[in-house]
Amino acid sequence: MLLPLFLILSLAGHAQNPPPPLAGSAQPVTADLVHNGTDDLFILEGEPPVIHIESENRSASPTPSPTVNLSEKLQVESAGKGPVQIFRLANEAYEKENFEEAIAFYQILIGRGIQNGDLFYDLANAYFRTGDFGYAVLFYEKARRLRPRDNDIAHNLSYTKTFLADKETKPDTLPGSLETLLILHRKTTLNETLWILVVLSSLFALAMVMKSLRLKISESVFFGYLKGIILTLFLLQIISAGVKIWVEEPIREGVILADAVSATASPKSDKTLVELNSGTRVRILDIRDGYAHIRLPDGVPGFIPEEKIGEI
């Protein structure tokens, strides 16, 4: 009866905190898509509305990054204000279509160490509105990691990717039930998985207590089936948590932020292996001496300047 609890504590001890804000991401560039319009960063009721972008936006060219003077001005303006107040200022700027100003305010919050799905979501929307699809994809991906079941984030991310020059290939699907299990695995965060384990462990412990007390219900066939289902779900969640902690958490992924960048065979090499465009998702193998060693989905490795990529 103590074994399930021991396994949960063991997994929780290996769970990592959310990654810190990307060093280069505190410098606003451009943005947009879906905006929730709430002043509360931490407790949000209901789902934010989806704003569908009309097709004519495809021809919009990216706008310049906010000037240093604007960023400095907003830093001074936000000094002494709390996160909710700054978030309100960002929302007001967004509603007035001052997207560069909204981005700067959202980035101030990130610079203060706030990791929030709604913050990343609105920041991605603002970047989309200014035509910077690379940063939009980056922050939609960040938001999706914190809120994997949010349909609005999934919709906006998918829609933004239709603007990208490099199209992603869909992974092969698995047979029936295996594909269902994979979807369930991807739709829960690590913390949620650990909480599910706590609940299942408690239910299994309760079942064992009822069995030891020889209660009449514990002798029924239905009770036996129920106990088997709980144990099966518990084992599946143990596997899911293990994969998240020891396989997925160590993997570093990033998004190309520059309009175009050449991946070379080695740092400072003139030999171009492949041209990458804004919004392309890649795996980060290492970052050293100003260069990111990356691997594309097709397995091709290469090097690009560190400032050209944002880590999810």
Per residue in 123-177, pLDDT tens? 999 999 999 999 999 999 999 999 999 999 999 999 999 999 877 766 555 556 6
Q: What is the pLDDT of residue 22?
A: 33
Q: Are residues 121 and 204 in the same domain?
A: no
Mean pLDDT score, 76-82: 76
Laid out side by side, the sheet with 260-264 consists of 272-277, 260-264, 301-305, 291-295, 281-288, 252-256, 309-311
Q: Are residues 201 and 275 in the same domain?
A: no
Taking alpha carbons only, the member of 106, 189, 185 closest to residue 147 is 189
Q: What is the pLDDT of residue 296?
A: 79
Taking alpha carbons only, the member of 293, 256, 281 closest to residue 169 is 281
Residue 255, SS3? strand
Residue 256's DSSP bridge partners are: 309
Calpha distance 282→252 (Å, rounded): 9
Above 90 in pLDDT, residue 306? yes
Calpha distance 151→263 (Å, rounded): 33
Q: Are residues 61 and 127 in the same domain?
A: yes
What is the domain-level CATH number for residue 43? 1.25.40.10
Above 70 in pLDDT, residue 29? no
Q: Is there a domain that residue 103 lies in? A: yes
Mean pLDDT score, 36-53: 41
Residue 185, SS3? helix
Average pLDDT, the chain: 77
Q: Are residues 123 and 46 in the same domain?
A: yes
Above 90 in pLDDT, residue 308? yes
- Tell me which of 180 and 170 has the higher pLDDT: 180
Residues 6+ apart with CB under 8 A from 27: 65, 71, 107
Q: What is the pLDDT of residue 25?
A: 36
Instruction: Name which of 36-45, 52-61, 137-146, 151-160 the model is least confident about.
Output: 52-61
Mean pLDDT score, 205-226: 80
Q: Are residues 7 and 38 in the same domain?
A: no
Q: Is there a domain that residue 25 lies in? A: no
CA distances from 264 to 139, 253, 292 (A): 26, 18, 11
Local structure of residue 260 (DSSP, 8 states): E
Q: What is the pLDDT of residue 224?
A: 82
Identify which of 10-14, 47-51, 169-173, 190-194 has the greatest average pLDDT: 190-194
Q: Are residues 218 and 256 in the same domain?
A: no
Residue 263's DSSP bridge partners are: 274
Q: How many Cβ atoms sit within 10 Å of the Cβ of residue 33? A: 29
Residue 98, SS3? coil
Domains held by the chain: number: 3
Q: Is there a domain that residue 275 lies in? A: yes
Q: Is there a domain that residue 184 lies in? A: yes
Of 161, 187, 218, the residue that ends a domain is 161
Instruction: Describe the crossing of helices 117-129 and 83-95 by its angle, rounded to 10 degrees.
Output: 30
Q: Is there a domain that residue 82 lies in? A: yes
Alpha helices by DSSP H, 96-220 = 99-111, 117-129, 133-146, 151-161, 176-186, 190-212
Of 207, 224, 246, the residue that ends a domain is 246
Which structure tokens are listed for 22? 């990307």
Mean pLDDT score, 238-267: 87
Question: 0.75 cut: is pTM over it?
Answer: no
95-117, pLDDT tens digit by residue? 999 999 999 999 999 999 998 99
What is the domain-level CATH number for residue 279? 2.30.30.40
Q: What is the pLDDT of residue 171?
A: 56
Of 195, 221, 246, the residue that ends a domain is 246
Q: Are residues 146 and 219 in the same domain?
A: no
Q: Are residues 151 and 186 in the same domain?
A: no
Mean pLDDT score, 221-246: 86
Handedness of CA 184, 186, 191, 194 (dihedral sign): positive
Q: Is there a domain that residue 144 lies in? A: yes
Calpha distance 180→173 (Å, rounded): 10
Q: Is there a domain that residue 127 lies in? A: yes
Q: Is there a domain that residue 105 lies in? A: yes
Instruction: Describe the crossing of helices 99-111 and 68-78 by its angle, rounded to 10 degrees.
Output: 60
- Tell me which of 164 and 58 has the higher pLDDT: 164
Calpha distance 283→80 (Å, rounded): 39
Domain holding 115, by residue range, is 31-161
Mean pLDDT score, 67-82: 71
**Could you tell me the pLDDT band of residue 53, with boundaries at 50, 70 and 90?**
very low
Mean pLDDT score, 199-224: 82
**Could you tell me the pLDDT band of residue 68, with boundaries at 50, 70 and 90?**
low
